[in-house]
Amino acid sequence: MKPLRHLAPDEAAALIDDGMTVALGGFTAAGAPKAVPLALAARARAEHAAGRPFRVRLLSGASTGAADDALAEASAISFRAPYQSSRALRQQINAGEVAYVDLHLSHVAPMVQAGLLGAIDVAIVEATDVTVDGRIALTTGIGVAPTFLRSARRIVVELNRRQDARLHRLHDLAVLPPPPHRDVIPIHGVLDRIGGRRMRVEPDRIVGVVETDADDAVAPFGADDATCGRIAEHLVRFLLDEVAAGRLPPGLLPIQAGVGNVSNAVLAALGAHPDVPPFEMWTEVLQDGAVDLLLRGRITAASSCALTLSAPARARLLDAFDAVKDRLVLRPAEISNHPALARQLALIALNTALEVDLYGHVNSTHVLGTQMMNGIGGSGDFERNAYLSVFLCPSAQKGGAISTLVPMVSHVDHSEHSTQVVVTEQGLADLRGKAPFERARLLIEQCAHPAYRDTLRAYVASAPPGHLRHDLGQAFALHQRLQATGRMLP
């Protein structure tokens, strides 16, 4: 077979023209391409300096780390989907300079298959190995790479020598067929496998291999603060009470946990509590805290889409690779986030919220209803379909200037029909089977910051009668005061 063509990063970037759709492998910074996006940003700056237009349509599995930052700072993105966490890109999205489509992450692969996000001109993926017959071994993040590789007209492989060559042994790579050719996904346990360890593509679509030696550069989480710790304590106590009541089995159910310090603190608390038995995880991102529990045997099995780990945590995992390789699986996002599997496996879903209103509607994405933060990510995939859906958040932000509990959320990502439990450092509200007026009382008394409880009580008391008691003239009074003064409190 013809040998694969090796390129420098700028030579690979030269294959991409203005207006093309580029798809990046990986999921978060884990497994995301590192060299070619930076070279593409440099090319964009050079084209702009010469007075020529140069922007691309960018797809990914989730956020990308340095790629989004570099391309946004070079004004090289015209369209972005399905999720991002870049400050520079966020500013451009909110200024209307970049068209942004915020998607449930489980929807991306089928939308690509259907052509709804445009034809993919170039897919760029990171690998530990690529063979002349087109077999590609991916790295720490799978994301939507398998579908991108199937769909792209041309493929560039970043061969990263920094990534461990054993990683593909964790992978279970499968691409679901489009309707009406689907069948039941035969996954009945966290470690069940349905795919292969490498992706195979036609070799003539691989237009270049770029040698790299770069770290995923995932920042370690900050130390758990008192707020995170109290949220974790309330949740652990609730889960143990659910076991005692017979609503959860003694070994719990597989746990899905979102990204961030709060989720990390909750996992640490679960692992440390003497009454919590070892448990399983089925999630989209495995973070530092989960790795430590996996190594200690507190997590017995884990399925994820990415190893979003700081360098020390990744080193600990790889040092113990032989001990954990049979208890850890990495899958594409279409599988890790699949709604049917979330329901079939009966997950306990733990996700975070920007704000929650008095009846359980949750805003995960937009500040003041208009300014995009990051995106919905995978939270919607899980919370609507889990056996137990929990939202975690502090009761107030910015030193108390912003209440997380509000009369009416300024944007709805998750409706009250899916929100079962809300936890803040103040307490926990179990909303299951509760009518709206009961939900409002529980959320105010159990979860709201004390400084805002009288305001929220007065709102409910003065609102006109209705199934949901709302005063449309005052529903956004706290948000309006925040816009005017920088604080929700008078």
Residues 285-308 pLDDT 10s: 999 989 999 999 999 999 999 999
Q: Please give the torsion angle defined by the CA atoms of residues 341, 343, 346 and 347, in that order, rounded to the nearest 10 degrees.
A: 70
Distance CA 344, CA 387 (A): 9
List, in sequence order, every residue forming a beta bridge with 141; answer none if it has no partner.
306
User: What does the pLDDT read at residue 223?
Assistant: 59
User: Which own/partner pairs from 128-133 qualify as long-range (CB within 8 Å, at least 24 positions apart)?
Assistant: 128/159, 128/160, 128/163, 128/164, 128/165, 128/167, 128/168, 129/159, 129/165, 129/168, 130/4, 130/157, 130/159, 130/206, 130/209, 132/1, 132/2, 132/3, 132/4, 132/203, 133/1, 133/200, 133/203
**419, 439, 450 from 422: Cα distances, Å:** 8, 10, 16
Structural tokens at position 439: 């939900």
CB 93 within 8 Å of CB 68? no
Rounded mean pLDDT of the chain? 96
Share of the chain above pLDDT 70, in %: 99
Cis peptide before 82 (omega within 30 of 0): yes
Q: Is 350 helix (H, G, I), strand (E, B) or coil?
A: strand
Q: Which amino acid is at 337?
A: N
DSSP at 13: H
Q: Is 9 helix (H, G, I), strand (E, B) or coil?
A: helix
Structural tokens at position 51: 């007075």
At 264, is the pLDDT very low, low, confident or very high (cuts 50, 70, 90)?
confident
Q: Which amino acid is at 310?
A: S
pLDDT tens for 397-435 read: 999 999 999 999 999 999 999 999 999 999 999 999 999
DSSP result, 171-235 = B-B--PPPTTS-------STT---SBSSEE--GGGEEEEEEE-----PPPPPPP-HHHHHHHHHH
User: What does the pLDDT read at residue 1?
Assistant: 76
3-state helix, strand, coil in the chain (%, to 5): 35, 20, 45
Q: Is 488 helix (H, G, I), strand (E, B) or coil?
A: coil
Question: Across residues 96-105, what is the average pLDDT?
Answer: 98
Distance CA 481, CA 247 (A): 42
Look at the block and give the residue holding tokens 């790299």: 212
Other Cβ atoms less than 10 A from the Cβ of 470: the count is 19
DSSP at 447: I
CA angle (257 as vertex; 384, 215 as ends), nearest 5:
130
pLDDT tens for 20-64 read: 999 999 999 999 999 999 999 999 999 999 999 999 999 999 999
DSSP result, 34-84 = -HHHHHHHHHHHHHHHTT----EEEE-SS--THHHHHHHHTT-EEEEES--
**61, 334, 403 from 284: Cα distances, Å:** 11, 10, 29
CB 68 within 8 Å of CB 41? no
Is residue 129's pLDDT more than 80?
yes
What pTM was estimated for this model as a whole?
A: 0.96
CA angle (291 as vertex; 103, 386 as ends), nearest 5:
40
User: What does the pLDDT read at residue 307?
Assistant: 97
User: What does the pLDDT read at residue 486?
Assistant: 95
User: What does the pLDDT read at residue 224?
Assistant: 61
pLDDT tens for 431-444 read: 999 999 999 999 99
Find the helix or strand (DSSP H, E) in which 397 lies. strand 396-397
pLDDT tens for 58-83 read: 999 999 999 999 999 999 999 999 99
CB 249 within 8 Å of CB 277? no
Distance CA 242, CA 343 (A): 18
Q: Which residues are catalytic?
A: 284
Share of the chain above pLDDT 90, in %: 91
CA 107, 301, 391, 223 torsion-angle sign = negative
Question: Across residues 321-338, what is the average pLDDT?
Answer: 97
At 182, is the pLDDT very low, low, confident or very high (cuts 50, 70, 90)?
confident
